[in-house]
């Protein structure tokens, strides 16, 4: 073993939480393997760089940056406080918790019919769609072009004219339109836009100072790149076309943040709605959100906003329990959380080659598997010999 590697293992061992200090050397090597997995993804052109973070209810105990902010050879190195386009993680960081907060306060009903809040849907074939169906992607609505829609009211009008693909509640169909509508629901019920509601109820109480829609100039200077064309990079402007057309604030995408901020949020989740002595969600609300709420054929299990088992569950890896949950994002970012061990693992990346979906899924699964093997107790690991194949 090289001196450098031995030094790395020593530092890694000292950084481990007390309950993980009894791990053997073979397991400690897994931490080095996380480095190798990320470096291989960079060397192969899959990503420009990224940050991996792992923690539990007591705090963050693995935080490491890799690579650079863009494909440019002279691009700045990724730092632990680099800001990333979180894309669809917006759904579970802002929109779903905001809706659940309103439900907790009795201002919205989980099974409210959509027409209660969206009169634009009256007289259509959508009178049986409920708030529940939007949160679980079982509304029967599918995504279509939102060309010309520059306000959420025009999005609602467009959605009211969409065909229902199946009876609400019958099957899972992941579609951004569900969370676009939920983002507008937050504003119609609370009287303030989604970005302000999430800021006041979650980001400020949790001390998430680097998390926002439409990052200010100071945060933009720390942003990793996203790609919208062969030679067009964005820094601090949301990659998702529909979110950009809506001014950068939408229920399905638009949020930017750092590993440190996300760790605070996920500590709150594994802490049952409480972080650093502050309660931001009731324990029952969190439990309801992350519990199985929809099953389909043994192949899809969804929480309220959260993924538990679906074609998009690659960050589960091979060692997290079947009660674990999380979410992925088109930008390449992902999070997975195991309630059995209270361990979470996040990957924030600047994605480079968007064609290699399988390779990105393997990277997500590999990092989660290594993190679970390293940071959970042996009795809590539930490694599977034949993990499923993910398609996103």
pLDDT in tens, 200-245: 999 999 999 999 999 999 999 999 999 988 779 999 999 999 999 9
- Structure confidence by residue, pLDDT tens digits, 37-79: 999 999 999 999 999 999 998 889 899 999 999 999 999 999 9
On whether the CB atoms of residues 253 and 238 are closer than 8 A, the answer is yes
Residue whose C-alpha is closest to residue 43's, from 368, 392, 332, 359: 359
**Cβ-proximal residues to 254 (8 Å cutoff; 6+ apart), any chain:** 90, 195, 213, 214, 238, 240, 243, 246, 248
- Structure confidence by residue, pLDDT tens digits, 306-349: 999 999 999 999 999 999 999 999 999 999 999 999 999 999 99
Predicted TM-score (pTM) of this structure: 0.89
CA dihedral (134, 304, 84, 321) in degrees, to 10, reads -140
On whether the CB atoms of residues 87 and 348 are closer than 8 A, the answer is no
Backbone angles phi, psi at 54, to 5 degrees: -135, 140
Q: What is the Cα–Cα distance from 97 to 94, expressed in whole angstroms?
A: 6
Say how many C-beta atoms besides its own lie within 10 A of residue 127's C-beta.
12
Domain boundaries of the chain, sorted by first residue: 3-95+195-380
Q: What is the Cα–Cα distance from 269 to 280, expressed in whole angstroms?
A: 10
Residue whose C-alpha is closest to residue 38's, from 349, 286, 341: 349
Q: Which long-range contacts (CB under 8 A, 24 or more apart) does 144-149 make?
A: 144/177, 146/242, 146/245, 149/242, 149/245, 149/246
CATH match for 3-95+195-380 among 2.60.120.620, 3.40.190.10, 3.40.710.10, 2.40.30.10:
3.40.710.10
């Amino acid at each position: 073993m090289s001196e450098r590697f031995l030094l790395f293992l020593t530092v890694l061992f000292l950084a481990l939480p007390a309950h993980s200090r009894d791990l053997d050397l073979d397991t400690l090597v897994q931490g080095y393997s996380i480095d190798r997995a990320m470096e291989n993804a960079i060397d192969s052109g899959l990503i420009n760089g990224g940050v991996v973070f792992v923690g539990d209810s007591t705090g963050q105990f693995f935080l490491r940056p890799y690579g650079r902010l863009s494909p440019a050879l002279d691009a700045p190195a990724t730092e632990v406080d680099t800001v990333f386009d979180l894309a669809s993680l917006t759904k579970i960081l802002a929109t779903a918790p905001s809706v659940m907060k309103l439900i907790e306060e009795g201002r919205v009903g989980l099974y409210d019919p959509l027409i209660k809040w969206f009169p634009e849907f009256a007289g259509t074939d959508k009178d049986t769609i409920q708030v529940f169906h939007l949160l679980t992607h079982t509304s029967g609505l599918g995504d279509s072009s939102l060309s010309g829609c520059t306000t959420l009211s025009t999005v609602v009008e467009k959605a009211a004219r969409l065909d229902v693909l199946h009876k609400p509640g019958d099957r899972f169909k992941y579609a951004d339109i569900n969370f676009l509508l939920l983002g507008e629901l937050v504003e119609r019920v609370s009287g303030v836009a989604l970005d302000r509601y999430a800021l006041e109820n979650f980001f400020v109480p949790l001390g998430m100072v680097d998390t926002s829609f439409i990052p200010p100039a100071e945060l933009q200077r720390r942003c990793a790149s996203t790609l919208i064309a062969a030679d067009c990079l964005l820094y601090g402007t949301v990659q998702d076309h529909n979110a950009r057309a809506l001014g950068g604030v939408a229920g399905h995408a638009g949020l930017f943040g750092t590993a440190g901020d996300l760790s605070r949020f996920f500590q709150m989740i594994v802490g049952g709605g409480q972080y650093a002595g502050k309660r931001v969600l009731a324990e029952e609300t969190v439990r309801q959100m992350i519990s199985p709420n929809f099953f389909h054929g043994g192949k899809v299990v969804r929480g309220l906003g959260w993924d538990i088992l679906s074609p998009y569950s690659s960050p589960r890896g091979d060692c997290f329990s079947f009660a674990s949950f999380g979410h992925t994002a088109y930008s390449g970012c992902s999070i997975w959380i195991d309630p059995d061990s209270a361990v979470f693992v996040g990957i924030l990346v600047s994605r480079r080659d968007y064609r290699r979906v399988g390779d990105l899924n393997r990277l997500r699964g590999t990092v989660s598997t290594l993190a679970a093997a390293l940071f959970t107790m042996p009795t809590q690991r539930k490694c599977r010999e034949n993990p499923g194949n993910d398609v996103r």
